[in-house]
Amino acid sequence: MIRHVVAWKLRTEDPAERAAQAAKVSADLGALREVVPSIVDLSIGPDVVGGGNWDVALVADFADRAGLDAYQTHPDHQAVAGYIRSVVSDRVAVDFEV
């Protein structure tokens, strides 16, 4: 099993805009559960504590590397990733075996 963990910092300084963007990122990525067959499990959400934390985080599990690759290249994921790239200032990710 491969666990894919990603966190994003949003570019905007406006709290209302940040909340709206974090909600959209979460909803759009969460919707991929229904369309990307290789997703075994997926958790996503905006930060609820604030402060110096990152704004949105995702944890997704795939049976193997091929499943992760299928997710990353899936057209619906690519569309969501395009929006995410337009609103984030930084991204951190790690993929590891569980």
Each residue of 6-37: pLDDT tens digit? 999 999 999 999 999 999 999 999 999 999 99
Domain boundaries, the chain: 2-88
Of all residues in the chain, the percent with pLDDT exceeding 70 is 100
| Per-residue pLDDT at 50 | 82
pLDDT of residue 51: 80
Contacts of 3 (CB under 8 A, 6+ apart): 59, 60, 61, 95, 96, 97, 98
Residue 73, classified by CB atoms within 10 Å of its CB into exposed (0-12), middle (13-18) or buried (19+), is: exposed
CA dist 34 → 28, 38, 56 (Å): 11, 10, 20
Question: Containing H/E element for 59?
Answer: strand 56-62
pTM, to two decimals: 0.93
How do residues 40-84 score in pLDDT, each as one tens digit? 999 999 999 988 899 999 999 999 999 999 999 999 999 999 999
CATH topology for 2-88? Answer: Alpha-Beta Plaits (3.30.70)
Give the pLDDT of residue 57: 98
Rounded to whole angstroms, the Cα distance separating 85 from 62 reads 23
